[in-house]
Structure 1
Amino acid sequence: MHPFLEKVKRDSDSFFVHHTKIEEQLPMHSHNKHQMSYVEGGVAFLNTRNKSYFFPARHFIWIPAGREHNVISRTSVKFVRNIFFPKWVIPKDHKLQERGGIFPVTDLLMEMIYYTEKWRGDVTKKDKTQLEFLLALKNIVLDAAENPLPIVLPTTENETLRPILKYIHQHIDQPLYLDKIAEEFGQSSRTLSRLFQGNMETSFLQYVKLSRTIKSMEMLLQTDLSITEIAYSCGYNSLSAFSYAFQQIVHRSPKEFRKQTELKNKTS
């Protein structure tokens, strides 16, 4: 077992605080605590066995205890802040006991995360002041969990689909049609459509739409390209089509998403 995971697991009743400038490069793993992670700078993904969660600036990831996962960043990050919650602090009937996701970081939650930046390792019931603070932070997390970011990209171990998914991501700036891709990989359109529904519980069209949206979110955060340039780089043939699709999934326009993120980063 990785030494870091041994430290996290050694006391199942304690909180565990871990802030680092270097990401823990871990394979798929699980532990006996809930994990909240916040990444400063960069773009990262939370991967589980069957889903990939994109999380942008000013959002945190929540990973339920026992859930196999790993976190991969697409770009270099400034800091990774992790707080591990013992199972007993989350109400037994709360959705965070079983459900992971990406959630917004409010100004208050941001300040509370930063307040813990000098803490290291276990926080137990003997550490009364720190424990009370983390229990208060937990309540803020429970409130934030009411507004998840609706960006979840299904993944699969299916050997037929994996190269097709890779092809989609490599050609995201081009027109992507079910019949053309089916022909490219020696499948019928009907068979490929069934493969998506049966293995990923989504349609080919919805997968492409989500992939384009996630790529555009990365570019809005990581580049200075205009929104029109990003639209074409993500395979849309007009700004209006891109804006409509983005708004449907993110519930904000591309301009609002970029502006809100920039303003929040300046105040962080």
Structure 2
Amino acid sequence: MTRKAYSFVRTFAAGPTRDFCVDRHYLLCASAGALRLEAQGRAWLLPPARAALIEAGRAIQVSVPRPVTTASVLFDTGFAPPPPAPLTVFDLSPLARSLVAECGTWGDSDQPLTAYAETLFAALAAVTWRLAEQPSPVVVPVGRSPELRRALRLTEERLDREVRFEDLAQEVGLAPRSLARRFSDETGMTWRAALRRMRLLRAIEELAAGDTPVTKIAFMVGYTSLSAFNAAFQELTGRTPTDYRASFRP
């Protein structure tokens, strides 16, 4: 008999995208590094102090741009209700982070949970299910067509320098107007907005990776003005880059 809920911590090396699906509701928390998760034509960045709640049986794709350490909690479908959405990324509250740490004592085992452990896991489910109702804005633009996915990939490869939309259109074999229409139809945003979002998400990855100065990160992701970078970052996340990095730590 497997426990109704259990937890484990694991470190993953950088690696390519792989498929992921489990038969339990899955709470995935990044504690160092960042993951990318993709499902149903949408993708999310999962930096530290954030969590992803994945519905049981839901197939997603996971990529690890850099080494990452995660804390995972799995809930039997008879123990916890279906999550608010098939896949949601959200900020962990101090209470949720404490509960994740406390539940780490109970790994997978044939021994049943104690009454105390069941209470802890039930409290963690109640808190994180509620937090999942307020998703994080760190959503990555994703396309459906091969041309748009290639255009996004090329854009991501050139975030540290000037990128010309006309050059991208030519490289993917579409007229600029046609590519612009693909961006609108498949991502719900313009290419310029997608470029901005991708630069900020790359900045979040850099903030999670270490202690590189914020000014250097701003230039690394294509900004020539620190004030413009700070304003764009705060508009997306509601925090300054320095405050966002501080939130990664307990």
* Matches of 1:174 and 1:243, distance apart in 2: 18
Counterparts of residues 92-171 of structure 1 (less than 5 Å): 96-121=83-108, 127-171=114-158
Aligned to 1:6: none
The alpha-carbon deviation at position 202 of structure 1 amounts to 2.8
* Matches of 2:98 and 2:162, distance apart in 1: 44
Structure 2: which amino acid aligns with 1:172? Answer: L
Equivalent pair of 1:16/1:123 in contact (CA under 8 Å): no
Does residue 73 of structure 2 align to residue 86 of structure 1?
A: no
* Matches of 2:77 and 2:4, distance apart in 1: 9
Aligned counterpart in structure 2 of residue 15 of structure 1, from 4, 26, 33: 4
Aligned to 1:192: 179
* Matches of 2:191 and 2:57, distance apart in 1: 31
* Matches of 2:20 and 2:67, distance apart in 1: 22
Secondary structure class of the residue paired with 1:71: strand
The alpha-carbon deviation at position 153 of structure 1 amounts to 1.0
CA 133–255 in structure 1, closer or farther in 2 if over 3 Å, else same: closer
* Matches of 1:54 and 1:126, distance apart in 2: 32
Equivalent pair of 2:6/2:75 in contact (CA under 8 Å): no
Secondary structure class of the residue paired with 1:147: coil
Structure 2: which amino acid aligns with 1:107? Answer: P
Normalised to the residue count of structure 1, the TM-score between the two structures is 0.80
Q: Which has the higher strand share?
A: 2
Aligned to 1:174: 161
Does residue 46 of structure 2 align to residue 59 of structure 1?
A: no
Any idea what the Cα deviations from partners look like across 1:164-191, whole Å, max 9, x if unmatched?
2221111001122322322343321110
Coordinate RMSD, CA, aligned: 2.7
The alpha-carbon deviation at position 154 of structure 1 amounts to 3.0
CA 225–40 in structure 1, closer or farther in 2 if over 3 Å, else same: closer
Aligned to 2:170: 183
The alpha-carbon deviation at position 160 of structure 1 amounts to 1.6
Secondary structure class of the residue paired with 1:38: strand
Any idea what the Cα deviations from partners look like across 1:46-89, whole Å, max 9, x if unmatched?
22241221111111111122321133322223x42211223345
Does residue 21 of structure 2 align to residue 34 of structure 1?
A: no
Equivalent pair of 1:34/1:62 in contact (CA under 8 Å): yes
* Matches of 1:152 and 1:196, distance apart in 2: 15
Structure 2: which amino acid aligns with 1:164? Answer: A
Equivalent pair of 1:90/1:97 in contact (CA under 8 Å): no
Any idea what the Cα deviations from partners look like across 1:225-247, whole Å, max 9, x if unmatched?
33222212111221122122111
Does residue 236 of structure 2 align to residue 249 of structure 1?
A: yes
For structure 2, the 5+ residue unaligned runs are none
* Matches of 1:213 and 1:16, distance apart in 2: 35
The alpha-carbon deviation at position 125 of structure 1 amounts to 7.8
CA 84–126 in structure 1, closer or farther in 2 if over 3 Å, else same: closer
* Matches of 1:259 and 1:126, distance apart in 2: 35
* Matches of 1:126 and 1:249, distance apart in 2: 41
Equivalent pair of 2:234/2:240 in contact (CA under 8 Å): yes
Larger CA deviation: 143-152 vs 227-236 = 143-152
Equivalent pair of 2:7/2:103 in contact (CA under 8 Å): no
The alpha-carbon deviation at position 152 of structure 1 amounts to 0.8
Count of aligned pairs: 248
Equivalent pair of 1:33/1:66 in contact (CA under 8 Å): yes
Aligned counterpart in structure 2 of residue 71 of structure 1, from 50, 62, 71: 62
For structure 1, the 5+ residue unaligned runs are 1-9
Any idea what the Cα deviations from partners look like across 1:199-229, whole Å, max 9, x if unmatched?
3333212211111010111122224333222
Equivalent pair of 2:39/2:59 in contact (CA under 8 Å): yes
